[in-house]
Amino acid sequence: MYKLHSTCRACGAKSLLPVIDFGFQPLANDFQAAADARAGAAPLKVLYCPACTLAQLSVVVDPAVLYSNYPYVTSPSQTMLDHFASLLRDLEEERGGTLGKVLEIGSNDGALLKFLESNAESVTGVDPAANLVELAEAKGIQTHRTNWCSAVADLLDCTYDTIIARHVFAHCDDWWDFIKALHLVSHANTVVAIEVPYAGDLLDKNQFDTIYHEHLSYVNLRAVNSLLLETPFYLAKVIRYPIHGGAMLLILRWRTAGAVPVPSDSIDSERWRNLNGRAREMMQSLRSMVKVLGGSKSYRVCGYGASAKSTIWLNGCGFTHQDLAFVHDVTPQKQGKLCPGTDIPIIGDRASLETCTHAVLFAWNFAAEIIAKEEPLRRQGLKFIVPVPELKIIE
């Protein structure tokens, strides 16, 4: 199901240092019904490259196992719509006008392309998940069902004015081929926009729960500049966004004479090692809190948001349905399934939520929106427990 990966994906260095080790863990999005087989576990270990400061997983799980049928659907939340509006504004500014012909790599259910459609000459998606391509096509978004690679780019036989890849670059094993494929479908004025979580935010805000098998790399600018050094692209601009706890949009352009890349940052290995210790403390704190609450007959605790991040918490804390009665989630693809590695069911109905006194907010990246939305339930007494960046009960 997985293979070992011991050379740096960005600069090719061979001597990588182990900085985080969470042992064997289930796949974070392996939501299955109780009667169905699960994919199993794989090592979750982070290696650090002293040469370019990239952090990456020690293994690569077979993408066919991870992505053929993918339960993560781009959230239809207001937070995401606001983000799409920011992206559109920033991309138009980069282009100096309309978006032209748009290609999105990892286009999920077509939500972003649908949003951009009226501002573009054409929109085309590429995504490997059959279930998501079906949803995109139902919205009228033309989508090629495949992983992104140079062989696919060759077949497209077309160039695009704007190329977007949101939260897919960190999922990609072969960055050289990814960049080669971008070159095949771009022209001298193409704006390539790659959105990735920023490793600095992960470290600063204790987001260790975003470390899971799909996220092969934890990206910073020095690593990106190292990677691009031998390619036709350079890092022309970086735009920061608050989405998903802190992301950056890497604007890549064809290198021209005199092009100056965005200056590199650098992340030292000690910061990663510190996070390893902090993750254990944070899991112990949540575990103690939930056990104390569960020990009292007056309280009933559930989870809120069956995010991939929730899998890391639930398995790290060793929670069962005795600890958390269920995890509430609005995603139809997840409802009726179990949280990976556990016996905790995912339930979408409001009545169950109303029976709880406390909900651990595993979708903490949507905290402001969810806490505001659930104001009526909070007035009835529901308290949110927010685990990141620090364990906190919202009274």
Residue 255 CB burial class (10 angstroms; 0-12, 13-18, ≥19): middle
Residue of 168, 122, 162 whose CA lies nearest to 143: 122
Query: Minimum distance between the CB of residue 52 and Zn ion, rounded to whole angstroms?
Result: 3
**C-beta closer to ligand TMP: residue 265 or 369:** 369
Contact partner at residue 366 from ligand TMP, Zn ion, none, CB < 5 to 8 Å by partner kind:
ligand TMP
Contact partner at residue 52 from ligand TMP, Zn ion, none, CB < 5 to 8 Å by partner kind:
Zn ion
Among 13, 353, 377, 394, binds Zn ion (CB under 5 A): 13
Contact partner at residue 306 from Zn ion, ligand TMP, none, CB < 5 to 8 Å by partner kind:
ligand TMP
Query: Minimum distance between the CB of residue 19 and Zn ion, rounded to whole angstroms?
Result: 13
**C-beta closer to ligand TMP: residue 117 or 369:** 369
Asked if 377 interacts with Zn ion (CB under 5 A), we say no
Q: Residues interacting with ligand TMP, by CB under 6 A?
A: 75, 77, 305-308, 329-331, 334, 363, 365-366, 369-370
Residue of 169, 216, 175 whose CA lies nearest to 194: 169
Contact partner at residue 27 from Zn ion, ligand TMP, none, CB < 5 to 8 Å by partner kind:
none
Stretch that binds Zn ion, among 50-58, 92-100, 206-214, 258-266 (CB under 5 A): 50-58
Asked if 52 interacts with Zn ion (CB under 5 A), we say yes
How far apart are the C-alpha atoms of 370 and 233, rounded to whole Å? 39
Contact partner at residue 51 from Zn ion, ligand TMP, none, CB < 5 to 8 Å by partner kind:
Zn ion
Could you give the strand order of the β-sheet that contains 358-361, starting from the edge strand earlier in sequence?
Answer: 346-347, 327-328, 301-304, 358-361, 383-386, 392-394
Which residues contact residue 311 at a Cβ distance below 8 angstroms, ignoring those fewer than 6 apart? 25, 26, 27, 28, 29, 30, 212, 339, 340, 341
**C-beta closer to ligand TMP: residue 272 or 362:** 362
Length of the chain counted residue by residue = 395
Contact partner at residue 133 from Zn ion, ligand TMP, none, CB < 5 to 8 Å by partner kind:
none
Asked if 283 interacts with Zn ion (CB under 5 A), we say no
**C-alpha torsion sign, points 304, 306, 310, 311:** positive
Contact partner at residue 365 from ligand TMP, Zn ion, none, CB < 5 to 8 Å by partner kind:
ligand TMP
* DSSP characters over 82-151: HHHHHHHHHHHHHHTS---EEEEES-TTSHHHHHHGGGSSEEEEEES-HHHHHHHHHTT--EEES---HH
Query: Minimum distance between the CB of residue 364 and Zn ion, rounded to whole angstroms?
Result: 30
**C-beta closer to ligand TMP: residue 161 or 209:** 209
Helices and strands in the chain: count of H runs, count of E runs:
13, 19
Contact partner at residue 49 from ligand TMP, Zn ion, none, CB < 5 to 8 Å by partner kind:
Zn ion
Separation of CA 31 from chain center: 16
Query: Minimum distance between the CB of residue 97 and ligand TMP, rounded to whole angstroms?
Result: 32
Query: Minimum distance between the CB of residue 8 and Zn ion, rounded to whole angstroms?
Result: 3
Among 47, 49, 105, 153, binds Zn ion (CB under 5 A): 49
- CA torsion angle for 68, 69, 72, 75 (degrees, to 10)? 110
Query: Minimum distance between the CB of residue 185 and ligand TMP, rounded to whole angstroms?
Result: 28
Asked if 55 interacts with Zn ion (CB under 5 A), we say no
Query: Minimum distance between the CB of residue 280 and ligand TMP, rounded to whole angstroms?
Result: 22
How far apart are the C-alpha atoms of 50 and 53, rounded to whole Å? 5
Contact partner at residue 115 from ligand TMP, Zn ion, none, CB < 5 to 8 Å by partner kind:
none
Phi, psi of 237 (to 5 degrees): -160, 155
Applying CB under 5 A, which residues contact Zn ion?
8, 10-11, 13, 49, 51-52, 54
